[in-house]
């Protein structure tokens, strides 16, 4: 017990100050995590940890394949006139065949066993002669249908067909060391900065009778704080559609094959399933931590992330981060690593070069990396390593600057007096 009291007495008031600073760090870290920007340390760490956790260790639980149906319209194309700014004919442009989409929706709507939800992840920006039949067949599904739409300067662009729609969020800004940005999907924002609820969120609210509202520090879901932006899991990947063993694959059908199915098979495929209609091979492909991924699969994984509660700021994670940030604050304020001091107290070690290395910036960076790794594996939440380490180094610098000013200026004036 004497070792316990020796350690406890060592912290005293310092630990109280460290905890207070840890609360500040936690709020700053949540604000940083809520940013749509992704920095290279976040991206590479998350990519490595994801591969280790999912592929090497196999630590993941797949959703039920029978809950979903994916319909591939990658090769169903049609030509429509391409008009210029003055409505002059420039030629022709390729779009997804609206007649095929209409027939698919009709087959689904006429099934005696209804789907849970139908997502048509096909951008309908240009008008087509077949839009009228697509509208009629889409209306047969009522509120079970959602059509993806694009955003332009914060405004959701309505499709050419008057069907229920919502913005599909695929892209995140990735910022490198030189400020270079690229389009990729890494973080998911259920509510865009302009207040638009994304398609996956609207679908989640509809099926689970939940409500998410936008806030300054964080969003709220039925009075529970949730991240405004978070890194999602990807339980369903392109591999699961096309490369996995047949018994483990998620059902995907080409639109033409789906239309040729007898009614009893269509009912089996449709009943209570969530159906995603989209391009899974050609154009609608986006970069993720797992490589190139179809946009419709990203929407699926966004929905699953919301269902799993990955957006929630859980109390146990907050406690974990407060403990870790308190220890890091202690090191930054007094240039002493509390872990090192505990080891020294327990084993009566006064000087050790290997232990002293833990008080360097590299040691601090390593400590934050370990904190982030544990956070990811235990809570599924990854934090920015470089941001936390640099912030603590700035705190150290300000502290040293304050001491220098105090010793050189303030104390000197008192001595002269």
What pLDDT does 346 receive?
60
Calculate Rg over the CA atoms of the chain: 27
- pLDDT higher than threshold 80 for residue 184: no
What pLDDT does 284 receive?
83
As beta bridge partners, residue 91 has: 82
Q: CB atoms < 10 A from the CB of 289, how many?
A: 21
Average pLDDT over residues 96-115: 90
List the single range of 183-192, 215-224, 293-302, 332-341 with lowest mean pLDDT.
332-341
Out of 36-45, 153-162, 328-337, the most confident range is 153-162
Average pLDDT over residues 8-20: 69
Which candidate, 241, 250, 270, places its Cα nearest to that of 258? 270
Task: Determine contact, residues 144/275, Cβ cutoff 8 Å.
Answer: no
User: Over the stretch 198-211, which tens digit does the pLDDT of each residue have?
Assistant: 999 999 999 998 88
Residue-range domain boundaries for the chain: 2-33+315-416, 62-308
Of 225 and 88, the structure prediction assigns the larger pLDDT to 225
Average pLDDT over residues 40-48: 72
Q: How confident is residue 96, by pLDDT bands cut at 50, 70 and 90?
A: confident
- Report the percent of the chain where pLDDT is more than 70: 78
Task: Determine contact, residues 385/38, Cβ cutoff 8 Å.
Answer: no
As a dihedral over the C-alpha atoms of residue 164, residue 170, residue 173, residue 176, rounded to 10 degrees, the angle is: 180
List the single range of 30-44, 245-259, 341-355 with lowest mean pLDDT.
341-355
What distances in angstroms separate CA 30 from CA 104, 160, 216, one per listed residue? Answer: 43, 39, 11
Structural element, H or E, at residue 167 = strand 165-167
- pLDDT higher than threshold 50 for residue 179: no
Average pLDDT over residues 160-186: 67
Distant-in-sequence, close-in-space partners of 29: CB < 8 Å, separation ≥ 6: 321, 325, 383, 384, 387, 388
């Amino acid at each position: 017990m004497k070792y316990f009291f020796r350690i406890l007495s060592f912290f005293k008031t310092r630990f109280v100050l460290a905890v207070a600073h840890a609360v500040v760090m936690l709020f700053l870290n949540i604000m940083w995590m809520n940013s749509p920007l992704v920095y290279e340390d976040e991206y590479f760490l998350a990519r490595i940890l994801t591969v280790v956790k999912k592929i090497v260790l196999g630590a993941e639980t797949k959703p039920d394949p029978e809950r979903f149906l994916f319909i591939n319209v990658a090769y169903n194309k049609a030509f429509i006139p391409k008009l210029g700014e003055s409505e002059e004919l420039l030629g022709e442009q390729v779009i997804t065949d609206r007649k095929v989409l209409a027939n698919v929706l009709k087959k689904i709507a006429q099934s005696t066993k209804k789907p849970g939800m139908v997502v048509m992840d096909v951008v309908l920006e240009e008008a087509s002669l077949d839009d009228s039949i697509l509208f009629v067949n889409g209306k047969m599904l009522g509120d079970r249908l959602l059509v993806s739409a694009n955003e332009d300067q914060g405004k959701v662009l309505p499709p050419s067909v008057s069907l229920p729609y919502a913005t599909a969020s695929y892209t995140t800004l990735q910022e490198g060391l030189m400020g270079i940005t690229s389009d990729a999907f890494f973080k998911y924002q259920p509510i865009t900065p302009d207040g638009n609820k994304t398609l996956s969120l609207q679908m989640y609210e509809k099926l689970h009778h939940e409500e998410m509202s936008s806030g300054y520090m964080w969003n709220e879901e039925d009075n529970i704080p949730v991240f405004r932006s978070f890194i999602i899991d990807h339980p369903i990947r392109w591999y699961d559609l096309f490369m996995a063993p047949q018994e483990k694959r998620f059902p995907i059908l080409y639109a033409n094959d789906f239309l040729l199915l007898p009614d009893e098979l269509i009912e089996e495929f449709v009943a209570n399933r969530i159906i995603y209609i989209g391009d899974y091979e050609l154009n609608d492909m986006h970069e993720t931590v797992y490589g190139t991924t179809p946009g419709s699969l990203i929407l699926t994984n966004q929905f699953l992330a919301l269902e799993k509660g990955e957006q929630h700021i859980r109390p146990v994670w907050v406690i974990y981060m407060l403990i870790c940030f308190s220890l890091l604050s202690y090191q930054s304020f007094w240039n002493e690593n509390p872990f090192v001091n505990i080891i020294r107290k327990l084993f009566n070690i006064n000087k050790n070069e290997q232990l002293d290395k833990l008080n360097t910036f590299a040691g601090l960076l390593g400590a934050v990396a370990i904190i982030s790794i544990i956070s990811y594996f235990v809570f599924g939440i990854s934090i920015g390593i470089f941001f936390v380490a640099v912030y603590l180094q700035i705190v150290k610098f300000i502290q040293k600057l304050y001491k220098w000013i105090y010793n050189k200026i303030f104390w000197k004036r008192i001595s002269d007096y």
